[in-house]
Structure 1
Amino acid sequence: MARAMILMADSLGIGAAPDAEAFGDLGANTLGHILDAYQQQWGEPLALANLSRLGLIDACEAASGRTLNVANRQQPMAAWGYAKELSSGKDTPSGHWEMAGVPVLFDWGYFPLTTPSFPTELIDELVARTGIPGILGNCHASGTTIIAELGEEHVRTGKPICYTSADSVFQIAAHEQSFGLDKLYQVCEVARSLLDDYNIGRVIARPFVGNDKDDFKRTGNRRDYSVLPPAPTVLDKLAGAGGEVISIGKIADIYAHQGITQKYKAPGLENLLTKTVEVFKQAPDNSLVFTNLVDFDELYGHRRNAMGYGEALKVFDDFLPHVLAQLKEDDLLIITADHGCDPTAPGSDHTREYVPVIAYRPGMQAVALGERESFADIGQTLAQWFDLTKLEYGNGFVAELSLETPDTAQ
């Protein structure tokens, strides 16, 4: 019986999508610009031997039409390609839902760039229902910046920090000790119920700790409150067929816990990867282990830290042999992303980019998958892999993941 693993490298775009100009993202290339920045900083290219063996560098070159300079480059041994997004946005839920076979073909609600950003009636109702003494922020902001600016006032007044971004999101930051983690979650749950009328995709709890602005730090107790996907995803189909869908990191939150049978949290890139391998070792047949590697997006993409992003990619690359060592004959590894977040682009928003579509099973022949018309090709491939009913969107490529024969093996 089959198993599969998805390593979702959050925000690892590989070149501007055909409609990038409409999003203000013409010329974006998260991976390409990270490699450029690394070489400029250190005078030598970043070495990504394992990711290149899986076809990431070839996929980025094909998607962007440019040559990348990377050290210790290897010939691909996997299936590699690049997918454009069918969904109308470049947000986290849209990317994740589409790769599970359900593109978002409607427009989310967004909050304006004005300050205040939130309608008065919304905040008044939130205060009335939760008993909080008011809110701070009420604007578009970087999460780390606004915590440094308003964290001390929050601790003093008990007012949570509420802010938004270019995504369809309402974020609430609060101190774990002085405000309380459970209270923060309760406020977020009330906010989620109020925001349905505004068509806002996510409410995010952003807990932090520390004594003052110099050492405030967000913790791993983040929680996302998402609306439900508009149709059953491949996760629902697998769980409904008696399989296991195991979430690592924030995957369960993004799918509003629908179609998830087990979930695990872990703080930081290396811990997420370690937990993935640990869980996959024990996963039974007919299991999907689905991991979101959030640090790429949260710590480096949004913070426009190209060097940090490059160093994190090296950590990922160095860990991949541990992942590959766990794969058995009927196991499938998929590496992809949900959008871009080019650390060299202006602002701090996601970028509309192609994402890598990498698939590997032990003993397969390397193959170029070319341009994929939708992230949903991944979901359709999983439906084929697990012998599930066909999804409405996506073209699967299991037939292209053929094993080497004695005549072709070298």
Structure 2
Amino acid sequence: MTDQKAPFDRVIVLVLDALGIGALPDVHLVRPNDVGSNTLKHVVQASGGLSLPNLERLGLGTVAPGSGIRVEPSPVAVHGVFNLGYKGADTYLGHQVIMGSRVADVPEELFEVVRDEVAQALIQKGHHVEAAGEGLSALFVDHAMICGDNLESDPLQTYHCVGSIDDIAYEKIVEVGEILRSVARVRRVVAMGGYGFHAADIRRCTELRPTGQCGVNNVALGLYTSNYVVRHLTQGTRPDVQVPTILKKAGYEVELLGKVADVITCEGAHKEPHVLTGQVLEATYQSMARVRSGLIAINIQETDLAGHDESAARYANCLKLADEGIGRIMSMMSSRDLLIITGDHGNDPTIGHDKHTREFTPLLAWSPGIKPKGIFMRDSLSDIAATIADVFSVARPEIGTSFLDDITV
């Protein structure tokens, strides 16, 4: 479906997962461990300098002038900065806001609270269950995988099921993850698989943290560097008030590529939950050749994984690959296309912990022939959803303020 009155036929939203450009002013109160975080700046510094010609041309250096990348004197994009618009620093929460809904309230609790319920549910389905170790609340399932708290997420938010694909089929990990999801009340259960380690390694890397979280230290395990495979099993989503579902119901095409395919619910959307950056970008090029009118939403996840891995070098390499992909995306666009680039939080690999960091993210909006300007601070990532709804003249999402006038005037 194409509305000839609409200023654009397609909107392409590209989230560079964990591209933070400086700590929010409230971190000293709500996340003291994030004080001083600046993901982009510290990745550039640790790399000894970084060239990102396409992002620089769009204005990334302009909105992050202290980051160390080139400051383009005349950016070609409408450029600004986003406040996150949600509490914490989380991909799942960030994407709900990006798509236009408030974050629903769900119970927040450690895995130990539901441990016995999870064990009973697994046993009833024929699985073998035992404690992961003395004094540990995490469970060792089928002599192959661990169920427990996800240590790389904030406490009380996310559980995981971690297994080796060298030992068992990934579908078996997902099966156990879905049983965990049926019992868990928290927002997210993550079914994680990888290569190059075995059950004994997973069990050895299971630990209890001072936060009360008990699960696998995936960084120590090397999971994020081993052809990581993941499914995000979520609850508390509100698709009916989010822009992908609103667009789909109005007859537009919606494609969700990369991690966004897992964390956003949209019935009837085309979904490809790739992890590797090359695969996500290739899926994007194919989507652009296929979709004529609607939304293509993309998440480049490996930057986030590099942050969890506390590897600035890996983060820099992922950014360079993404920048090359952005150049190709731009070359495939016409004046009827709008590209919006942002992040969903930070993940500073130099800050001294392996969790996300609460940071501002960039706003870069470009279309061939667009009139560049600085619009700087936006209150919430949800402004993206409101702008998309405004482009297609569909019902507004639950939250967000459109910046379409700043793009088309």
TM-score, structure 2 normalization: 0.83
State whether residues 38 and 359 of structure 2, in contact with CA within 8 Å, keep that contact through their aligned partners in structure 1. yes
- Residues 1:314 and 2:314 aligned together: no
1:199-214 mapped onto 2 (5 Å cutoff): 200-210=186-196, 212=198
The residue identity in structure 1 corresponding to 2:230 is R
- Residues 1:26 and 2:43 aligned together: no
- Residues 1:389 and 2:384 aligned together: no
Q: Which SS does the other structure have where 1:178 is aligned?
A: coil
Change (3 A) 1:135 1:71: farther
1:83-162 mapped onto 2 (5 Å cutoff): 83-104=82-103, 106=105, 109-111=108-110, 117=112, 119-134=114-129, 137=132, 157-162=143-148
The residue number in structure 2 matching 1:6 is 13
State whether residues 114 and 183 of structure 2, in contact with CA within 8 Å, keep that contact through their aligned partners in structure 1. no
The residue number in structure 2 matching 1:274 is 282
- Cα deviation for residue 163 of structure 1 reads 3.8
The residue identity in structure 1 corresponding to 2:193 is P
- Residues 1:223 and 2:222 aligned together: no
Mapped partners of 1:182, 1:388: distance in 2: 38
Q: Which SS does the other structure have where 1:401 is aligned?
A: helix
State whether residues 130 and 187 of structure 1, in contact with CA within 8 Å, keep that contact through their aligned partners in structure 2. no
- Cα deviation for residue 241 of structure 1 reads 0.4
- Residues 1:170 and 2:170 aligned together: no
Q: Deviations over 1:47-89 (max 9, x none)?
A: 112101111111223xxxxx23225856310011111122223
State whether residues 171 and 206 of structure 1, in contact with CA within 8 Å, keep that contact through their aligned partners in structure 2. yes
Mapped partners of 1:96, 1:381: distance in 2: 15
Worse overlay, 371-380 or 210-219 = 210-219
State whether residues 132 and 159 of structure 1, in contact with CA within 8 Å, keep that contact through their aligned partners in structure 2. no
Q: Deviations over 1:254-309 (max 9, x none)?
A: 02x33551112434112211210121121122x211111110001x1111111211
State whether residues 144 and 164 of structure 2, in contact with CA within 8 Å, keep that contact through their aligned partners in structure 1. no
The residue identity in structure 2 corresponding to 1:365 is K
Mapped partners of 2:19, 2:234: distance in 1: 22
Among 212, 215, 235, the alignment partner of 2:244 is: 235
- Cα deviation for residue 179 of structure 1 reads 3.0
TM-score, structure 1 normalization: 0.83
- Residues 1:352 and 2:347 aligned together: no
Change (3 A) 1:337 1:356: same
1:170-189 mapped onto 2 (5 Å cutoff): 170-176=159-165, 178-189=167-178
Q: Which SS does the other structure have where 1:323 is aligned?
A: helix
Change (3 A) 1:401 1:259: farther
Mapped partners of 1:138, 1:84: distance in 2: 42
State whether residues 135 and 162 of structure 1, in contact with CA within 8 Å, keep that contact through their aligned partners in structure 2. no
Change (3 A) 1:26 1:160: closer
Among 383, 396, 399, the alignment partner of 1:377 is: 383
Aligned pair count reads 372
- Residues 1:294 and 2:283 aligned together: no
State whether residues 243 and 396 of structure 2, in contact with CA within 8 Å, keep that contact through their aligned partners in structure 1. no
Name the % identity: 27
Mapped partners of 2:341, 2:109: distance in 1: 30
The residue identity in structure 2 corresponding to 1:82 is V
Q: Which SS does the other structure have where 1:222 is aligned?
A: strand
Unaligned runs of at least 5 residues, structure 2: 3-8, 202-220
Worse overlay, 388-397 or 359-368 = 388-397
Mapped partners of 2:358, 2:366: distance in 1: 26
CA RMSD of aligned residues (A): 2.7
Unaligned runs of at least 5 residues, structure 1: 40-44, 62-66, 404-410
The residue identity in structure 1 corresponding to 2:366 is Y
Q: Which SS does the other structure have where 1:191 is aligned?
A: helix
Q: Which SS does the other structure have where 2:120 is aligned?
A: helix
- Cα deviation for residue 181 of structure 1 reads 2.4
The residue number in structure 1 matching 2:22 is 15
The residue number in structure 2 matching 1:332 is 338
